[in-house]
Structure 1
Amino acid sequence: MHPDRGILYIATGPKYVRQAIVSAEKASEVTELPIAIVSDQDVDHPIFDYIIKDHNPKHSYIDKARNISKSPFDKTLFLDTDAYVLSDIMELFELLDEFELAAAVDPNEVVLRYSGERHFDNVPESVPEYNTGVIVYRNNERVNNLMQNWVSYCTTANPNDQIGFRKALYESDVRITALSPVYNTLINWPVQVTGEVKIIHGVGGSISDSSEVEKVADRVNKKTGVRILYSLRHGHVVYPTSKYGTIITRKYSSIMRYTFDRIYTPFVHRPIYLLNKRVQNVCDNGILNTIKKELM
């Protein structure tokens, strides 16, 4: 018999295992749910109650689709390794009394509409793209069949797991519902939220411990009314009901993006990123192997 409910991470490669540990530690601060990880690495950390081996990793998006059915739980909350639980999320499991799967609609649909050639894979354009970084689902035959179809669509012409997930959902008889964006709030994309954000997602490798998650969470939830979370990396600011408002906001957006791209990124962000990457390479591979790799 499976444990009733729990959290699952899928992490192929040492970088993603480190991210999963930080995310799991944060989750354990606000919930007592058991936590499982599927990985190709030899994971030995007490934060994980279940460690499941992936013996054939692809080190790509498909690893998520391949391994998500390995959950040891009857009801699973799957989290990307750069998703962080900020407060109580037990209501998600109650959804599974009425539905079999739930995920948030990706508000930007970037993969569907802007990555390479636009294609809808014989699925109506009106069908949304769901973000696969936070999924809550039951462990049953219909959901497992959906996941198997997801794998097959990820290995054909689809460039990203979310395109395959969209097609698999459309063809499935699984009872699905959409999560509120506060349960999957994308940090590095422009989004609108109202209310307390419960799960942030997309922070990437910039978080090294749970205290840094708290800093981001404080900024996100400083106000709980209607608000827009804006990223300089993506998107433009538009004032649709005013010509002059649009000009002002567009200029402001352009100036801020120029500052980010030409000043902050090359002189602050990238040096810090490269230093952290080099330190991690030394930790993973040793000093000599790291030097050899850089000299090749």
Structure 2
Amino acid sequence: MNPTNSAFGVLYVATGKSYVSEAISSAQTSKLYDPSIAIHLCCDSIYDLDLSCFNSISILDSPSYSYRDKVAALLSPPFEKTLFLDTDAFIISPISHLQSSIFNFDLSACFAPCRIPAGFNDATIPNFFPEYNSGVLFLRNSETISSLISDWLDLYDRLFVEYDQHWDQASLRTVLWNYTNNPSFSLLTLPPEFNVRLTKPWIIGRGIPAYILHGRLPPRELPILADYMNSDIDCFRTCNDWYAKYPDSLIKMRFARPSCL
């Protein structure tokens, strides 16, 4: 399947059969809640899986089966306006109608819940500019973004060699900080409703829906959680309230990790 001609769409990057399978599930969920959205899969192999939920598919050259693969795939975005999602991230509220506003900026993302985790920390950057979570990225295709992604990949490779840094967000943080001095680059920090990290304490602010969930959960809990988050947006929705209402929920938070995203 050749890349789609749609101006806006979702990109999943998956290397390894288990991640391709997860991308299928997330893409199906995204289309359930936003049926008109185009979705492209960049993967290492077709495998023996039903990929009919994707509008287009491409094969990633020389995959490394690491965080590097998604950065490399972003060098060739399938859309003029791309929403990149990790394979465990998916849409639960229509988002297509927001593209004209969000893509006024070159790159839009949310802060990572773990602002500056263990691992490489660029000491030249102030703490008030923490890491962005790279699992949900809105990218406007441009020469500036192409240059930024190329710089991100180069720095990722260098930190991997010099510091054994496997996570990709430390390198993204440095590159974004450097680009804030570039007059041709614009960055939008989105509210956390655009990247609800289910493994960390979360709160959905009063007045807007949760748009994108990011994390693994049992399929049977998804419609219940989506309904809890979005059936009544005129109130705060929190993880504490969720677990009080559903004490048997199998959605597990993780805190004690050497690095957290």
TM-score by length of 2: 0.79
Residue 26 of structure 1 and its aligned partner are, at CA, apart by 1.2
CA distance in 2, matches of 1:171, 1:86: 33
Do the aligned partners of 1:96 and 1:138 also contact (CA within 8 Å) in 2?
A: no
Per the TM alignment, residue 108 of structure 1 is displaced from its structure 2 partner at its CA by: 2.6
Task: Supply the distance in 2 between the matched residues of 1:121 and 1:184 (Cα, whole angstroms).
Answer: 27
Shift of 1:70: 2.0
Offset at residue 91 of structure 1 (A): 4.2
Identify which range, 63-72 or 118-127, moves more after superposition: 118-127
Q: How does 1:45-64 map to 2 (within 5 A)?
A: 45-64=51-70
In the alignment, which residue of structure 1 is the partner of 2:13?
10
- 1:153-172 equivalences in 2 (<5 Å): 153-157=155-159, 158-172=165-179
- Radius of gyration: which is bigger? 1
Identity of aligned residues (%): 30
Paired amino acid for 1:187: L
**Which residue type is aligned with residue 215 of structure 2?**
G
Counterpart of 2:136 (choices 134, 139, 142) is: 134
Shift of 1:215: 2.9
Please list, as runs of the form range in 1=range in 2, the aligned pairs for 1:156-235 lying within 5 A after superposition: 156-157=158-159, 158-172=165-179, 173=182, 174-194=185-205, 195-203=208-216, 206-207=217-218, 212-221=221-230, 224=233, 225-230=235-240, 233-235=253-255
Deviant stretches of 4+, over 4 Å: none
SS at the partner of 2:54?
Answer: coil
1:33 maps to 37
Show structure 1 runs of 5+ residues with no match.
Answer: 237-296
Number of residue pairs the alignment of both structures matches: 228
Q: CA deviation at 1:41?
A: 1.4
User: In structure 1, the residue corresponding to 2:139 is in which secondary structure?
Assistant: strand
The structure with the largest helix share of the pair is 1
The runs of 5 or more residues in structure 2 that have no matched partner are 160-164, 241-250, 257-261
Question: What's the C-alpha RMSD, in Å, of the aligned pairs?
Answer: 2.3
Q: Aligned to 1:120, which of 93, 105, 122?
A: 122
